[in-house]
Amino acid sequence: MIFTNSKNIQLCCYCGTRKATTKDHIPPKSIFNKPRPNDLITVPCCFECNNEASKHDEKFKAYLGMHVARQGGEAKRLFKEGVLPTAKHNNKLRKTIFDTMRPVYTTTQSGIITGKAMSVLWDSEAHDYTIEKIIRGLFYHHYKKIIGSNASVKTHWFKQL
Ligand SMILES: [Zn+2]
Q: Report d(CA 44, CA 42) in Å as an integer.
A: 7
Q: What mean pLDDT comes out for the span 149-158? A: 82
How many angstroms separate the Cα of 131 from the Cα of each of 36, 37, 103, 109? 20, 20, 28, 28
Q: What is the mean pLDDT of the chain?
A: 89
110 CA from centroid of ligand 1 (Å): 47
For the chain, which residues make up each domain, given as ranges? 22-143
Q: Report d(CA 10, CA 70) in Å as an integer.
A: 42
Q: What mean pLDDT comes out for the span 88-95? A: 92
73 CA from centroid of ligand 1 (Å): 36
Higher pLDDT, 100 or 4: 100
- Annotate the chain with DSSP letters as a single string: ---B-TT-PBBPTTTSSSBP-EEEEES-GGGSPSSPPTT-EEEEE-HHHHHHHHHHHHHHHHHHHHHHGGG-HHHHHHIIIIIHHHHHH-HHHHHHHHHH-EEEEEE-TT--EEEEEEE----HHHHHHHHHHHHHHHHHHHHS----TTS-------S--
- pLDDT reported for residue 62: 92
pLDDT above 70 for 161: no
Q: What mean pLDDT comes out for the span 138-149? A: 92
Name the band, by pLDDT with cuts 50, 70 and 90, for residue 145.
very high
63 CA from centroid of ligand 1 (Å): 25
pLDDT in tens, 27-54: 999 999 999 999 999 999 999 999 998 8
- pLDDT reported for residue 1: 45
104 CA from centroid of ligand 1 (Å): 41
Q: Which positions ≥6 away from 12 have C-beta within 8 Å?
A: 18, 19, 20, 44, 45, 46, 49, 146
pLDDT in tens, 59-70: 999 999 988 888
pLDDT above 90 for 130: yes
Name the band, by pLDDT with cuts 50, 70 and 90, for residue 160.
low
